[in-house]
Structure 1
Amino acid sequence: MDSPHGAAVTAEGLGLKGPRGWTFRSVSIDAAPGSLVAIEGPSGTGRTCLLLALSGRMRPTEGHAEVAALQLPRKMAAVRRISALGPVPGVSDLDPALTVAEHLRERALLQRRFDASLRALLRPRAERAAEAQGRIDRALDAAGLDLAALPKQGRTAVRDLERLEELRLSVALALIGRPRLLAVDDADLKLSDAERAEAWALLRSIADGGTTVLAVCSQAPEGTTVVRTTAVQGAPAFAASVAPGDEAEAAQADTTAEAALTEAEPASEADPAPRPEPASDSDSGGKPESDSDADSDTDSRPGSGSRRASGSATDIRTNEEGAADALAETGRA
């Protein structure tokens, strides 16, 4: 099967304001299809929220962006259909009690159930099983995860995986849906120098295969399109660079945010902070996406990340957006 064609990602003046101030602001990106884009910066500077906004899972409040010529925030549901989440803590966590094989089977089942055509669902069971196994094998190969090398092979529980193995599994699960855009959070977290090099080699190989990759990190490698995040006087601010590997000529677009989200104290019970408005593809501001655009507000792509909580695409979307709203409200990005 042909490799997925990557999605071009562009943004200008993109910003997201939460209940306690700006999470990120003045973000500009211009990445070609099949690019490896590193969102670089310290924890607490809005990196995860930017990642979720560009993958259609968090609604920006100013500026505009396009993913594969789909406008954000107007076409958020459509962007979700062509994108997938790798590891994003609090949004697409793996279930530590499940085995590697169970995660893979569940994702392939969800993919077939919610993303396949009616004709595909009516094919003989053996043919459908073979097609699902083929997707799993291709995803494992692309993620560089060898089940035979694991302690108990496919029966290895997620809690027993090393950090790099867990990253590879999350990426493999996302690739089962053959997305055009892959979003990965904390790509270099808790990795040794050698493991970090392996992780970036993995993400680069996926980008070389045709899938655009967005990866949050603390330090971007050379040769990547970089979006830098910095904390200015305790408030999130962004500087975007669109020239791969050329830090000296990176165009700076730092903007001091109105209020710091990092280290913010929770609101008192007497004055609770309002929750961010649920993501919607409607320009009316408060209405959910219509059924004609992306099957209502359902993220039918299991590649966008799920847990075993439900098994329905609607609940997957609910879990993702609930976690995304929590990130915006607490500033854990």
Structure 2
Amino acid sequence: MVEITTAEPEKFWDPIPGSLVSARGVELKGPWGHVFGPLDLDIDEGGVTVIAGQAGAARTALLMALCGRMRLTGGSLTVFGHVNRPAKVFAQSAIACLNELDEVRPSVTVRDMVTEQLRWDSAWYKLVPRVHEDAVERMCAEVFGDVPLPALNAFVDDLPEISQLLLRIAVANTRRPPLLVVGRTDRIADDDERLVFLERLVALGERQSVVTADVNPVPPGVGVRGTVDLRGLLGAGDVGVMTEGR
């Protein structure tokens, strides 16, 4: 007698209205040891949520896990109603400003970055020529807002820090998925530029759920929807997995 079995259906949570992420006992262990966890956290849908915690491998790994770029080793992570299904979350999210994923070489120009992304977004059989200023404006205007757009032939490495980060967001966010994860907020040294950067994320949060991280307090009145305080719970992490900003 042959026993016929069917694949176990995907388990869904009973979502709280307006909830985007629910994590219970999530943890990550790398080849060389413990990275973070176990942690519990909840993130509401819409607007900007800041994860407050020390910069390092643990924080980077958590951000990557929230958008389906890293598989956890323990606990339950529910995003968009998908329980422990990183591939499902990957398809509905974008991530920017993490050197482990989108670091830009010094020799790359603004034109190079925009052209390459348009080629990735186009069908394989379409020829996409090198772009001009109008393509940079179409891709970047919403993200940059009142911040001046970068010059077409400028080297990305020569741009102000805030322009570099906004450009990386614009390139990563062309599909406008429901979830946008942004790292490196606390790498902006100038307080005024950091405030402008957060304001640009808040503007994007009117159409997407935006999650970022910062070791510094969030300035009052900037419009950030919520803060998840993981200070003391996210250490430097396992440097054998990854290191942030090195």
Compute the TM-score of the two structures, normalised by the length of structure 1. 0.58
CA contact (8 A) 1:7 1:180 kept: no
Q: CA shift at 1:196, angstroms?
A: 0.9
- Evaluate the alpha carbon distance shift between residue 44 and residue 161 of structure 1 in structure 2; reply closer, same or farther with a 3 A threshold: same
Aligned-partner SS, 1:171: helix
CA contact (8 A) 1:83 1:181 kept: yes
Aligned-partner SS, 1:176: coil
Name the counterpart of 2:168.
170
Name the counterpart of 2:214.
217
- Evaluate the alpha carbon distance shift between residue 136 and residue 159 of structure 1 in structure 2; reply closer, same or farther with a 3 A threshold: closer
CA contact (8 A) 2:97 2:183 kept: yes
After superposition, the C-alpha distances for 1:260-287 in whole angstroms (9 at most, x for unaligned) are: 746x6x7xxxxxxxxxxxxxxxxxxxxx
Identity percentage over the alignment? 27
- Evaluate the alpha carbon distance shift between residue 84 and residue 230 of structure 1 in structure 2; reply closer, same or farther with a 3 A threshold: same
The count of residues paired between Structure 1 and Structure 2 equals 222
Name the counterpart of 2:154.
156
- Evaluate the alpha carbon distance shift between residue 59 and residue 35 of structure 1 in structure 2; reply closer, same or farther with a 3 A threshold: same
- Evaluate the alpha carbon distance shift between residue 134 and residue 56 of structure 1 in structure 2; reply closer, same or farther with a 3 A threshold: farther
Aligned-partner SS, 1:38: strand
CA contact (8 A) 1:145 1:169 kept: no
Question: Amino acid of the residue matched to residue 93 of structure 1?
Answer: E
Name the counterpart of 2:81.
69
Alignment partners' CA distance in 1, 2:123 and 2:185? 30
Structure 1 ranges of 4+ moved more than 6 A: 145-148, 330-333
Alignment partners' CA distance in 2, 1:111 and 1:166? 21
Name the counterpart of 2:200.
202
Q: CA shift at 1:134, angstroms?
A: 8.7
- Evaluate the alpha carbon distance shift between residue 224 and residue 20 of structure 1 in structure 2; reply closer, same or farther with a 3 A threshold: farther
Name the counterpart of 1:143.
143
Unpaired runs of 5+ in structure 1?
Answer: 1-5, 115-120, 232-236, 239-256, 267-325
Aligned-partner SS, 1:155: coil
Name the counterpart of 1:229.
230
- Evaluate the alpha carbon distance shift between residue 261 and residue 34 of structure 1 in structure 2; reply closer, same or farther with a 3 A threshold: closer
Alignment partners' CA distance in 2, 1:100 and 1:61? 38
Question: Amino acid of the residue matched to residue 143 of structure 1?
Answer: V
Name the counterpart of 1:8.
20
Compute the TM-score of the two structures, normalised by the length of structure 2. 0.77
Name the counterpart of 2:30.
18
CA contact (8 A) 1:164 1:191 kept: no
Unpaired runs of 5+ in structure 2?
Answer: 1-17
Q: Which has the higher strand share?
A: 2
RMSD: 3.2
- Evaluate the alpha carbon distance shift between residue 44 and residue 95 of structure 1 in structure 2; reply closer, same or farther with a 3 A threshold: closer
